[in-house]
Amino acid sequence: MHPRHIPIYSSLLIGLSPLALKSAEIRVTGLAPGQQKEIIDKLTPRLDFVTRREPSPWRADDAAFFLKRILVRAGHAEATVDWSLPGGQIIQLTARPGIRYVYGEINTNELGPLTQEELRSYFLQPVVESEIVKEDEAPYIPKFTALGAQNVDNYLKSQGYWSSSVTVVSEQYDRQQKDVDITLRINPGPVHILAVPSFQGAKSEDIQAHLADIKPYLGKTANTENITKVRTAVEEYYRKKGFHFAKLTMSSKHRADSVRLTFTIDRGLRYKVEDIRIAGNKKTKTKRIRRFFDDLKGEYYDAQHSDEILRKALSTGAFRRVTVTPVPQPDAMLDLEINVEEAKAKSIRSYLGLGTFEGGIAGLSYTDLNFNGELLRFNARGELSGRGFLGETSLTEPFFLGEPLSLTVRAFTLQRLYDAYDKFETGGEISLTWSPKREYSTRLYLGGSYVTTSSSDLTPLELGPDDYVHTKLGIIQSIDFRDNTTLPSEGFHGQAKLETGTVAGDSTTSYVLANIDTSYRIRQGERNHFIASFSTGAIRPGDSADLPIDLRLFSGGADSVRSFDEREMGPRSFSNDPLGGEAYWNASLEYVRDIREPIRGVVFFDMGQVYSDISSWGFNNPSYAVGLGMRIDLPIGPIRLEYGHNLNRKDGEPAGTLHFAIGATF
């Protein structure tokens, strides 16, 4: 190599640390000071067999070979290493590493289904994973060029291009840039589709069932994903039918433009569940675990159903791990061995917060996910804020009647200090919540409470009944397709509520209440998303004069029209306090941009109105607001700061309102 391409290197004398005490001493020269330690650390373990013996030409040649190999793997593709035996116990290695190259551009005659970014990523994947480096720092190692081309070819085949070929055309060294540009020739060939599979050893009724199960994939691209789904569907069929120990192998034959799978099947015996054995539980009562699995006894073993039950048990939160092991028994029977590892069920949580409406907030809660070893969920909570206090306890049976149906009994005491009136309420509620899937839930509830209200500003007519018993029966239907329930950025969420109730005090009246809340989020690129939301509600009392103020509908605030304070929009009293109404609606459009994690900026437009009488409900005479805000998502809790400006300010209304909230959990 020309001397001008060789950096300034220092000489290094090594006995290779502890190896200096042994027969041979190895001396290395020519390594740059910055790379000495890294290279020698890699070289030392490989030369133990050399330094244990007397120096010899073949041992010196081995040492030079290993040093060159390490230099090449570091990106010195043109490295040379010479050896000599100057005398005594010394082996002299002289290294000429030359330029350290990295991979440069990855070019091709045809991208086919690949993007340029995918081509580079899949080509560099072998060297990146082997050498644990970033893509832009991947050292040029000749053997990884062929491996990279093979990896690109494997990816094409996994996408259904089973006759593809990828070859290396050239490797261009750039001594100025110190990189090597690679040119590949890619011939993707046609995309293959899945042909009708062959089932060897299967019963005719099984074959018909298989064809029905895999019909959605036939004629589709024969990529790895679809092939895996076909195999999984065939395997799950036998597991679900009770042939838990069925033997199944799959092979494939590639034709010009199709792939034909062949399954060889020996379904074996069909097993029924004979007994269920529970182990590992220390606090949880065995009968409470067994109830999840009891309906499997005497039935053909369905592994898929068993997995669903296992997930139910895990969802209680009382277990860290649950495993189900089928154990074959004579006469085509099997026992299920259920082994559980219990989790920490009890926890105490405290939290603090601050908001423009609530003021300061402090709370403490206690939760036991395995109350009395019965797998019941017990919760007790106390919260104090600038608006009053809340104390509540609840007990939940998460799988009532063995179904995805939770039964909750709750008792509470509540005090609220609003601007226009104060309220004290104590009561209880029993509810059933059905959640067949994560996205859907239905809640049916029955509640009763004793309520008192008072006000120094409102007239008795404006306040309504101030000492009464409130009973209610309602249903809430929820749909949630958001990507994240805590910090969503896309997806639909909707909730509808229908409630009927009575108020019994000095006089008695009944009512029917309905409201709908919806929102839809759509992401645009990596940093932007839009939110559109709409909510509306109405209450029809038997007698408006007998409807307590606390049952009227209020709007305005951080989650509705943000140019108003919380609950401040709509009809006012003679003392200019909010009175609420019998109907309302709100609509909002937001643009949210990720500025820099965890900071987001928001621009919004809100509109809505509250109507004192349900007959006035409509989209007439709304209030409009436009505003800006910032949201910061921190591990200790979210921070939200927004200002809404009133676009059509009416007499007595604010020009705008600032909303701020921060919360922390410990």
Q: What is the SS3 assignment for 497-540?
A: EEEEEEEECCCEEEEEEEEEEEEEEEEECCCEEEEEEEEEEEEE
pLDDT 10s digits, 274-319: 999 999 999 999 999 998 898 899 999 988 888 888 988 998 999 9
Top CATH class, 193-266: alpha beta
For residue 270, list its beta bridge partners. Answer: none
Asked if domains 102-187 and 347-665 share a fold, the reply is no
> Which whole number is the average pLDDT over 598-624?
93
CA of residue 79 relative to chain centroid, distance? 47
Q: How far is CA 297 from CA 236, 270, 336, in A?
A: 20, 14, 9
Top CATH class, 347-665: mainly beta
**Which structure tokens are listed for 344?**
């920490």
Q: How many CB atoms lie within 10 A of CB 134?
A: 8
pTM: 0.69
Better pLDDT: 470 or 55: 470
- Architecture (CATH level 2) of domain 102-187: Roll (3.10)
Per residue, the 3-state secondary structure of 392-433, as one string, reads EEEEEECCHHHCCEEEEEEEEEEEEECCCCEEEEEEEEEEEE
> Which whole number is the average pLDDT over 137-163?
94
pLDDT of residue 15: 45
pLDDT of residue 32: 81
Could you give the CA distance from residue 468 to residue 508 in angstroms, rounded to a whole number? 9
Superfamily of domain 272-342: membrane protein fhac (3.10.20.310)
What are residue 438's phi and psi, to 5 degrees?
A: -60, -35
Which runs of consecutive H residues, i.e. helices, occur in 57-197? 57-73, 116-131, 142-158
| Residue 135 pLDDT level (bands cut at 50, 70, 90) | confident
Could you give the CA distance from residue 281 to residue 293 in angstroms, rounded to a whole number? 15
Locate the domains of the chain by residue range: 3-96, 102-187, 193-266, 272-342, 347-665
Q: Under a CB-based contact definition with an 8 Å cutoff, are residues 229 and 215 in contact?
A: no
Give yes or no for residue 369 having a pLDDT over 60.
yes
Q: Under a CB-based contact definition with an 8 Å cutoff, are residues 610 and 633 in contact?
A: no
Give yes or no for residue 486 having a pLDDT over 80.
no
Report the residue count for the chain: 666
> Which whole number is the average pLDDT over 627-647?
88
Give yes or no for residue 666 having a pLDDT over 50.
no
Helix (H, G, I), strand (E, B) or coil at 196: coil
pLDDT 10s digits, 550-590: 999 999 999 999 999 999 999 999 999 999 999 999 999 99
Q: Under a CB-based contact definition with an 8 Å cutoff, are residues 478 and 494 in contact?
A: yes
Could you give the CA distance from residue 520 to residue 492 in angstroms, rounded to a whole number? 4
Give yes or no for residue 413 having a pLDDT over 50.
yes
pLDDT of residue 12: 44
CA distance between the termini of the chain: 64
Q: Which residue in 503, 627, 621, 501 sits closest to 564, CA to CA? A: 627
Q: Which residue in 529, 532, 573, 575 sits closest to 554, CA to CA? A: 573
> Which whole number is the average pLDDT over 498-514?
95
Q: Under a CB-based contact definition with an 8 Å cutoff, are residues 192 and 259 in contact?
A: yes
| Residue 636 pLDDT level (bands cut at 50, 70, 90) | low
Q: Under a CB-based contact definition with an 8 Å cutoff, are residues 459 and 617 in contact?
A: no
Better pLDDT: 413 or 89: 413
| Residue 489 pLDDT level (bands cut at 50, 70, 90) | confident
Report the mean per-residue pLDDT for the chain: 90
pLDDT 10s digits, 14-59: 444 444 444 778 888 888 877 777 777 777 777 777 777 888 898 8
> Which whole number is the average pLDDT over 157-162?
95
pLDDT 10s digits, 205-260: 999 999 999 999 999 999 999 999 999 999 999 988 889 889 999 999 999 899 99
Give yes or no for residue 385 having a pLDDT over 90.
yes
Could you give the CA distance from residue 254 to residue 262 in angstroms, rounded to a whole number? 11
pLDDT of residue 568: 95
pLDDT 10s digits, 178-203: 999 999 999 999 999 999 999 999 99
Q: How far is CA 128 from CA 117, 133, 437, in A?
A: 15, 5, 41
Which runs of consecutive H residues, i.e. helices, occur in 170-326? 204-214, 224-241, 286-293, 303-315
CA dihedral of 411, 415, 418, 422, whole degrees rounded to 10: 110
Q: Which residue type does 233 have?
A: A
DSSP 8-state class, residue 557: S
> Which whole number is the average pLDDT over 74-88?
87
Q: How far is CA 18 from CA 11, 21, 25, 136, in A?
A: 20, 6, 11, 37
